[in-house]
């Protein structure tokens, strides 16, 4: 019996122990904790990594999503009450952000193979009020962005990305209006607290997001917008800066593990989503498997010391927070059988750069030994 944690932060942080301590010390010695040079340096480095002109650090991923949408309203690119297409199977924050910005989420069924937004579903999902698409790179797999952007362009819509699970994923080139990231500690690039960022080629949008996150103010004590307080602090920025050079190697290790899982998990009771044609377009934030007897499989794996999680057991439209939202017109969706099936059958197995080959083999062997 071997214990395989779902994800070990200990390794990621211990690996960098010394430099992280030094990074934090330097901030402490500087006595400057908010809106300083470390945040600016990290923003520049992260924009570079994303191949974008601007990055604005904010307090967390939910705020990054919300402020990106609010800034687009302020700039007159979309209007309050407009509809935004969102995949129905996502983390609840995607939907919360659209609501928080005063927009109406239209939940759309995913492709059951990729679990991402299904471009074939877009035409039927649109109404005269639909003005934007918010794609989610769920599990770390880039959504079909070239096709989504082409559809949006043809219909005069904006395209946003929830990239909270896809730091460092790269694919065919495409141009969205902006992408929102989270640096929650267990994301592929994680802080030691909350953090987030909006990344964009749109300098105006970046300026408004920065202002919104700072009380609606760029110049001290002059308030242009009704903003909030949502900023990436200096300690988190210094930690992210220290981790950033390792992101690529960590993602490559995730891709290696995923390639083994895809090739070696051979159990008719366990369905996997294959490696995409371009392996770099998937950074495997989690490795999902699908099983009709999911809860039984989870118990079986737990008995063998293999820790798993479910992403996500209750889809957003089934959450109490949104009960009545459909009839009030605050949310729009039709039947969502694929989304509900995914929520009933998904199980995320151990994944992360800390996994050693023996652990990967043990997880594979455990899954292959599962019978019902």
Ligand X SMILES: *Cc1c(COP(=O)(O)O)cnc(C)c1O
**Residues within the interface to ligand X (CB under 6 A):** 60-62, 90-91, 93-94, 136, 162, 164-165, 182, 184, 194, 196
On the 0-12 / 13-18 / 19+ scale of CB atoms within 10 A, 106 is buried
Closest contact distance (angstroms) between CB of 180 and ligand X is: 7
Q: Is 276 exposed, middle or buried (0-12, 13-18, 19+ CB in 10 A)?
A: middle
- Work out how close the CB of 13 gets to ligand X at its nearest, in angstroms, rounded to a whole number: 18
Between residues 82 and 194, which has the closer beta carbon with respect to ligand X? 194
Give the nearest distance from C-beta 62 to ligand X in angstroms. 4
Phi, psi at 206, each rounded to 5°? -60, -40
> Token match 């990594």: residue?
49
Give min distance, CB of 105 to ligand X, in A: 13
Q: Count Cβ atoms below 10 Å from residue 299 Cβ, excluding itself.
A: 11
| Residue owning tokens 């495997």 | 284
Q: Work out how close the CB of 276 gets to ligand X at its nearest, in angstroms, rounded to a whole number.
A: 18
Q: How far is the CB of 236 from ligand X (least distance, A)?
A: 11
Nearest Cα residue to 113 out of 285, 290, 347: 290
Smaller CB separation from ligand X, 60 or 273: 60
State the DSSP code for 124: H
Q: How far apart are CA 4 and CA 366, in angstroms?
A: 11
Q: Is 130 helix (H, G, I), strand (E, B) or coil?
A: strand
DSSP 279-303: GGGB--SSEEEE-TTHHHHHHHHHH
Report the residue number, 182 or 354, with the smaller CB distance to ligand X.
Answer: 182
C-beta of 139 vs 300, nearer to ligand X = 139
Q: How far is the CB of 15 from ligand X (least distance, A)?
A: 22
- Secondary structure letter of residue 332 according to DSSP: B
Write down the least CB distance from residue 61 to ligand X, Å: 2
Nearest to ligand X of 38, 141 (CB atom): 141
> Of 191 and 289, which has the nearer Cβ to ligand X?
191
Token digits for 69?
């949408």
Nearer to ligand X among residue 91 and residue 362 (C-beta): 91
What is the smallest separation between the CB atom of 149 and ligand X, expressed in angstroms? 19
The whole-angstrom separation of Cα 342 and Cα 295 is 13
The token pair at 220 is 């001290």
Nearer to ligand X, 143 or 363 (CB): 143
Measured from the CB atom, is 285 or 332 closer to ligand X?
285
Residue keyed to tokens 């639909």: 130
Measured from each CB, the residue nearest to ligand X is 61
- Per the rule left: phi > 0, alpha: psi between -120 and 50, beta: everything else, 265 is beta
The whole-angstrom separation of Cα 333 and Cα 111 is 16
């Amino acid at each position: 019996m071997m214990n395989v944690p779902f994800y070990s932060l200990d390794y990621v942080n211990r690996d960098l122990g010394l430099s992280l301590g030094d990074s934090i010390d330097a901030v402490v010695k500087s006595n400057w904790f908010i809106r300083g040079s470390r945040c600016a340096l990290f923003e520049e480095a992260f924009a570079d990594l994303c191949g974008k002109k601007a990055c604005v650090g904010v307090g967390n991923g939910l705020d990054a999503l919300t402020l990106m949408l609010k800034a687009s309203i302020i700039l007159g690119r979309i209007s309050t009450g407009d509809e935004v297409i969102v995949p129905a199977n996502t983390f609840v924050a995607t939907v919360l952000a659209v609501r928080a910005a005063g927009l109406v989420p239209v939940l759309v069924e995913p492709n059951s193979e990729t679990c991402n937004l299904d471009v074939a579903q877009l035409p039927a999902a649109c109404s005269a009020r639909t003005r934007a698409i918010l794609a989610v790179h769920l599990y770390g797999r880039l959504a079909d962005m070239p096709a989504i952007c082409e559809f949006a362009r043809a219909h005069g819509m904006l395209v946003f990305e929830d990239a909270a699970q896809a730091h460092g994923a790269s694919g065919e080139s495409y141009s969205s209006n902006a992408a929102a990231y989270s640096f929650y500690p267990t994301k592929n690039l994680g802080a030691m607290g909350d953090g987030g960022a909006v990344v964009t080629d749109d300098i105006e949008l970046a300026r408004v997001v920065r202002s919104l996150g700072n009380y609606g103010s760029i110049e001290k004590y002059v308030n242009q917008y009704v903003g909030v307080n949502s900023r990436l602090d200096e300690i988190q920025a210094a930690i992210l800066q220290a981790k950033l050079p390792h992101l690529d190697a960590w993602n490559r290790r995730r891709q290696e593990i995923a390639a083994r899982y895809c090739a070696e998990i051979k159990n008719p009771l366990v369905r996997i989503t294959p490696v995409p044609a371009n392996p770099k377009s998937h950074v495997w934030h989690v490795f999902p498997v699908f099983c009709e007897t999911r809860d039984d499989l989870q118990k079986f794996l737990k008995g063998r010391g293999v820790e798993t999680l479910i992403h996500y057991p209750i889809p957003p439209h089934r959450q109490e927070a949104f009960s009545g939202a459909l009839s009030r017109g605050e949310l729009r969706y039709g039947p969502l059988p694929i989304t509900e099936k995914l929520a009933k059958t998904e199980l995320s197995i151990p994944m992360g750069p800390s996994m050693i080959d023996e652990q990967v083999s043990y997880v594979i062997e455990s899954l292959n030994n599962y019978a019902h």
